[in-house]
């Protein structure tokens, strides 16, 4: 009876929390299948207004399913990143963008695992673009100016880990039109999900089935391209690591490219901030002070740019001990997020939940309603939908 009572209270509490969390009206139950990969390796779904893509199998199979199910979105994204941004970059810099991308491709390809290149090329074939275009769209040099924060223990309302990332990047060119949560179920590797974009096989915002979450922030160092591209490196972490320490080991031992910052967290409540470039890597532990970052409270890790980091630190202190998902959504709002805020994600690595928002046509992501999904539930949905016994049409 005692156990039953506890469970009932927990259920009621969960229902209460779910009722009042933004965006949760569009729950897992609203997930509906829009299209199936004819080869049987992917599902395209809608969750409220969001696109969810699930792909499974070998690199070739996953790439082909991705390209088949999101063909038009991938084309749109290629146009934006290679030709619109490419044209503007050529005008501004005086360097022909396709030449710059060809150099990045030549220098990074030796460091990219063959499985990722195979997936990228299969995706290109399915979309009907050249492998060069597909690869270069994935090697698009990210110059993000973002924020990342992870909190746990004394900082949060219930002691659990919450990991948030703010992606501030080119909302104005409408990349959000190609936004998708992509769930990868690769053969022989960790299942994971990326808050990403049609056609991207790498990631900058992700969590895996082991309860490891990661988000990236860009720095400088343009030109250091003799290493694994950042977005592929993070994918490798997602597919091979189960804990923050395993993720850090991959980051340490892999040849890296330009300067990036990362925040990692896992379900064992371990968290770390990372500053890495091609030559060095610095690990920041929870509560560790590191100028020029502002005060970092105990049980928190934070990384952000000047001005925004101070606002983030102040808000963390203001809500310290009471932080939950709703509070975190408020913490991430401007000026922590920039006006270019393309997407935001809040991970709960212990439960595999993700709350996320994409930019609107004229609004930063932080001002848009959040949606919610759960990696374990998405995987169960995929398995049921593709199982010959339980497949729903």
Partner 1 sequence: MVPRACTEKLAAALGIARRVEWLEGLGHYTAMAALPEVLDRMVGFFAEDLPPGLRIQPPPPAARTPVQVVLSLVKEATDLLLSEPSPGRCHLADVTVTLNLDRDKGYEGRLLLIRGWQGRFKLQCKLPVVGEVALGQGSYPWMVSAKKTVFKGMKGAPPTPGDPLAFVDPEHLLRIRMIAGAAAGAALAPDVLEPLVAVAEEPAADGRRTIRLTLKGRNRGTLTLALQSDARTPSMLTFEFPGARGKIAFRGWQRNTPAHEAAFDPPPGLPAQEVEAGALVRMFSAMFNFAMENAE
Rg of the chain over CA atoms, in angstroms?
Answer: 20
Q: Of 82 and 150, which CB lies nearer to partner 1 in the complex structure?
A: 82
Closest distance to partner 1 from the beta carbon of 373 (Å): 28
Q: Of 20 and 96, which CB lies nearer to partner 1 in the complex structure?
A: 96
Residues in contact with partner 1 by the rule CB under 8 A:
79-80, 82-84, 86-88, 90-94, 96, 98-99, 173-174
Tokens, residue 73: 């979105």
Q: Of 67 and 86, which CB lies nearer to partner 1 in the complex structure?
A: 86
* Bridge partner residues of 380 (DSSP): none
Closest distance to partner 1 from the beta carbon of 193 (Å): 29
141: CB partners within 8 A, 6+ apart:
100, 104, 222, 258
**Residue 172 CB neighbours (<10 A):** 11
Closest distance to partner 1 from the beta carbon of 137 (Å): 12
Q: Of 99 and 103, which CB lies nearer to partner 1 in the complex structure?
A: 99
Q: Of 85 and 278, which CB lies nearer to partner 1 in the complex structure?
A: 85
Q: Of 361 and 389, which CB lies nearer to partner 1 in the complex structure?
A: 361
Nearest Cα to Cα of residue 200 among 114, 118, 107, 77 = 77
Closest distance to partner 1 from the beta carbon of 265 (Å): 36
Closest distance to partner 1 from the beta carbon of 94 (Å): 3
How far the first Cα of the chain sits from its last, in Å, is: 41
Q: Of 176 and 386, which CB lies nearer to partner 1 in the complex structure?
A: 176
Closest distance to partner 1 from the beta carbon of 98 (Å): 5
Greatest Cα pair distance in the chain? 74
Q: Are 234 and 251 in contact (CB under 8 A)?
A: no
Closest distance to partner 1 from the beta carbon of 178 (Å): 13
């Amino acid at each position: 009876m005692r156990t039953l009572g506890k469970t009932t209270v927990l259920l009621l509490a969960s229902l209460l929390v779910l009722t009042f969390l933004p965006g949760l009206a569009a729950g897992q139950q609203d997930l509906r299948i829009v299209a199936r990969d004819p080869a049987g390796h992917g599902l395209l779904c809608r969750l409220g207004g969001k696109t969810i893509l699930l792909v499974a199998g070998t690199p070739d199979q996953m790439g082909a399913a991705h390209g088949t199910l999101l063909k038009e979105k991938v084309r749109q994204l290629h146009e934006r990143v290679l030709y619109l941004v490419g044209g503007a970059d050529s005008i501004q810099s005086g360097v022909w963008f396709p030449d710059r991308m060809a150099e990045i491709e030549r220098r990074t390809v030796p460091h990219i695992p063959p499985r990722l290149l195979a997936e990228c090329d299969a995706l290109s074939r399915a979309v009907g673009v050249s492998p060069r275009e597909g690869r270069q769209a994935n090697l698009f040099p990210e110059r993000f100016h973002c924020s990342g924060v992870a909190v746990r223990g004394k900082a949060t309302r219930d002691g659990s880990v919450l990991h948030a990332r703010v992606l501030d990047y080119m909302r104005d060119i409408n990349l959000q039109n190609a936004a998708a949560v992509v769930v990868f179920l690769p053969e022989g590797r960790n299942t994971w999900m990326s808050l990403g974009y049609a056609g991207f096989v790498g990631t900058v915002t992700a969590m895996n089935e082991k309860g490891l979450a990661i988000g990236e922030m860009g720095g400088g160092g343009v030109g250091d391209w003799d290493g694994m591209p950042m977005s592929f490196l993070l994918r490798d972490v997602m597919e091979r690591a189960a804990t923050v320490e395993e993720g850090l080991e991959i980051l340490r031992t892999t040849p890296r490219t330009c300067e990036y910052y990362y925040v990692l967290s896992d379900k064992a409540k371990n968290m770390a901030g990372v500053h890495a470039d091609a030559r060095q890597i610095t690990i920041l532990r929870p509560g560790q002070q590191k100028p020029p970052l502002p005060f970092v409270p105990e049980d928190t890790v934070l990384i952000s740019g000047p001005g925004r980091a101070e606002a983030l630190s102040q808000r963390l202190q203001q809500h310290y001990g009471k932080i939950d998902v709703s509070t975190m959504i408020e913490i991430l709002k401007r000026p922590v997020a920039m006006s270019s805020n393309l997407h935001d994600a809040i991970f709960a690595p212990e439960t595999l939940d993700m709350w996320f928002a994409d930019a609107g046509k004229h609004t930063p992501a932080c001002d848009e309603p959040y949606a919610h999904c759960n990696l374990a539930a998405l995987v169960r949905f995929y398995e049921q939908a593709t199982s010959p016994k339980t497949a729903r049409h």
